[in-house]
Amino acid sequence: MTKEADKGSGTLSCQHDKVPDPLSAFGDKTVPDPILSSATLYVVATPIGNLGDLSPRAVEVLASVDAILAEDTRHTRGLLSYAGLHTPLERFDDVTTAEKTPQVIARLTSGETLALVSDAGMPAISDPGAPLVAACRDAGVEVVVIPGPSAAVAALAASGLPTHAYYFAGFPPRKPGKRAKLLDTLEPLGATLVFYESPQRVAKFAAELATRFPQRTGALARELTKLHEEVVRLPLPELAANLAARPSIKGECVLLVSPAIKA
């Protein structure tokens, strides 16, 4: 593994003497020593909007690995430039996963240390990565997670809906029949439902949810951590009407539904 303590210069320098000491934030040794293990895949969370959410530990890891496997290398180059890093980037997305996984496993097994990132948030959560992590586990390759932002959890925490149990459903299926089946399955759950949805489809899906669950409360969490951040929490029929009345909806959206009311 290449270990360069002084990679990069830029707006936020990554020289180790300038990176906040991850240990100092906690006052004791509650986080591991930042020296990386070789032959390890680091699964690194990145910001979902605000670059300030990139953790010192994530910077440390991204600075020190041999290469970063990125969903979109152009996108991640922007993040690296913000952090003043020059670590080599390689494309690793849904299209290349099957072809590249055996090579990545071989490299890790021979001692390389790699980081996996997605365009935003936690890799492997509605993003590429889960099959690679599974393959690492199968091959006995060490996997270390560097946790951080994830839109689902951020939206849940911001929504004001019950958090004691939640069901993360990811993106709902595009086909109406499959969507209806999914909602049949989710209907009895005593858990807040969390969906990712595109801004073009979110009003229509909210209307569908309102028809299905008219007694429940819904929430839209949009553009979290960004300039136009918005969280609206309303009875579902009112939320659907609110979204339907907008000329357009822009940005990234999470839609949430309160749990089934137990009889």
> What x-and-dash track marks residues 31-50 binding ligand SAM by CB under 6 A?
-----------------xx-
CB of residue 192 vs ligand SAM: minimum separation in angstroms? 16
Q: How far apart are CA 221 and CA 152, in angstroms?
A: 9
In the region spanning residues 197 to 216, those forming contacts with ligand SAM, defined by CB under 6 A, are 197
Whose structure tokens read 């986080």? 31
Q: Running DSSP on this structure, what letter comes out for residue 124? A: T
Q: How far apart are CA 119 and CA 46, in angstroms?
A: 8
- Kindly state the tokens that stand for 198: 């595109």
Q: What is the number of the residue whose Cβ is closest to ligand SAM?
A: 121
Q: How far apart are CA 182 and CA 123, in angstroms?
A: 24
CB of residue 197 vs ligand SAM: minimum separation in angstroms? 6
Query: 3-state class of 109 per DSSP?
Result: helix
Whose structure tokens read 């996963």? 97
CB of residue 88 vs ligand SAM: minimum separation in angstroms? 22
Complex with ligand SAM: residue 14 or 79, whichever CB lies closer: 79
122 binds ligand SAM per the rule CB under 6 A: yes
Complex with ligand SAM: residue 134 or 139, whichever CB lies closer: 134
- Kindly state the tokens that stand for 246: 């907008």
128 binds ligand SAM per the rule CB under 6 A: no
Q: How far apart are CA 72 and CA 84, in angstroms?
A: 18
Complex with ligand SAM: residue 121 or 237, whichever CB lies closer: 121
Applying CB under 6 A, which residues contact ligand SAM? 48-49, 118, 120-122, 125-127, 150-151, 196-197, 221-226, 252-254
